[in-house]
A and B are shown apart, each in its own frame.
Chain A
Amino acid sequence: MTTIGLAGSGELASFVARQLAKSHIVRVLDTNNGSLNCDGAEPVDNATDLAKDADLVVLCIDSDEVREALLRSPDWLKAGSAKNRVLIDMSQGDPDDTRSLAKDLSEVGITFVDAPLHTENTEEAPDATAIFFGGSETVLQSVRSVLEAVCPKVIHCGEAGSGHAMRLVVAAIAACNRLITYECAAMGARNGLTIADMAVVLNKSSGYNSASARVLPALTANTQTANVTLGGWANDLRKASALGMRYGAPMLIATMARSTLDAASNRLGESVSVDRLAQIWELDSGLPAPGAG
């Protein structure tokens, strides 16, 4: 049985650990004091112990600083044997940094690949959930079964860095879907439409998007659609926006989405679910909150 060392933090890392622990021996290094929860995984105290005897090492860290500290000083990885030097980054990094890191790490015998996971709700996975792999086809084949243990949908996007770039594309459009849905639904509601009618009609018409399909019925039923955080989304959109600037892509709407998410994160807090964005539109549009009668 493959032994996997997972360094991570937050709900996404906990989800990855739980999925892997169903079919693998998993050791976990909590990089943020108690935010990584997984029954059945063996906790370790430091990165060196994590890498020792691990067949694969996986990063899924929601702090850019912690992730970069581990990647920029990779001596801890040398605790493993030569064949164990595959490092899979399931966090969200900057695609160009990932390209550059993959090159640097290859010079010290470490194969670094990116395989970030996109989901809005780990409790609903694998629905609308996918892993975007950046690295060679050969490496993908060698780790595919591990990745599929986390999520059956694995898409090969190109060389190292491509997985991170793809996830930013997906995250930006997913965020736009949701923000557009709130904005348009607020306009409809203020003009006399019910959310229930919009949930039916828009999702059978050309306005359909993944957010309208989930969010509008949930607003009517006062239920949740997501357990990813506003802070996480804002961070993704900052990276997407930076990539757009670097490559000369205007991204007028996605850049506005970045600003909106940062503002919402500042108003409501980084750790709240993206479902709470509904509150922003209710307040800013003068709508009554759901259930307020």
Chain B
Amino acid sequence: MTLRINATYAQSAVGTGTYTRNIMRVLPEARPWTLPAVLTRGHPVAFWTRRIAEESSSWLSGTTIHPYWCTSSARSDIVSVLDFVQYREATAVERSLLRRATRRARNVLALSATVAEEIDADLGRRGVIAPPFPDPEWYIPAPGKQVPRKGRIRIVYWGGVHARKGISEFLLATSRSDMAADVEVYCPRDTPHVPGLRLHRYGDLTSKALVRLVDSCDLSVYPSSEEGFGLPVFESLLRGLPVISKPLLVYEEFAMPSSARVHVKSDEPDEVSQAIRDAVQPHRLTPKMLLWRPTQRQALASLTQAIAEAMAP
């Protein structure tokens, strides 16, 4: 029997790609499924389809990629609604396609309770919560940071660089703050140049290399204004790194140690510099702040149940 999983994508396949890749890791090795990709924020041209195919080629080998308009007719057993934040910005046509796909699917997976509630309200389906979990490399024991590093404060960011992620504004505020000379920031290659700030751009790092980079830093930032889950925040905590982020409900949902998180409500230079100072206080540095086992167990249980239901006659 073939199990058809329908993954809904936004404009980028990076974060959602991690999620789907990890779903595929826990599913049976024989791969009795196909994965038609849905682009909820797609365009009626092949551009996004091609981009998804390019970015995902390493882990989607053997999977047929369909453009999003095919998915309305491709009946799925499971629809995983990954990036529901983007759904709010979707066009009427895109929404109707997703509605149709979820209506016909046996199960709908949601990243978090926040997303599940939104699905329920907008699509009339109750989503099963199956949170994401990071790659195995992130579970390698972290070296621990009992003593603050000497030299400049090293900040790391990984994730998209588009407007919703808020990284450009954060960097701009940092460059205008009194901490500008004391920090250096590691961020993705496509991050815009920020005058007055020491920026180190990195390319397409492997998961292992990214973990090594994170381990060498003092704190991470994830100033996204909306998140379905916010995987990098969890990954930072897994490596024992304090995080500066916006106060989002979804972070509270999975029992994250609040002492390790520093919230910034706005991108004012003063608030940002204070947040950086707070984050590097010695009491925030612990070897490992999050053991992700309960979350992972919950995800696996939800997935196993969804697959069993989908494959039942």
Q: Does B associate with A?
A: no
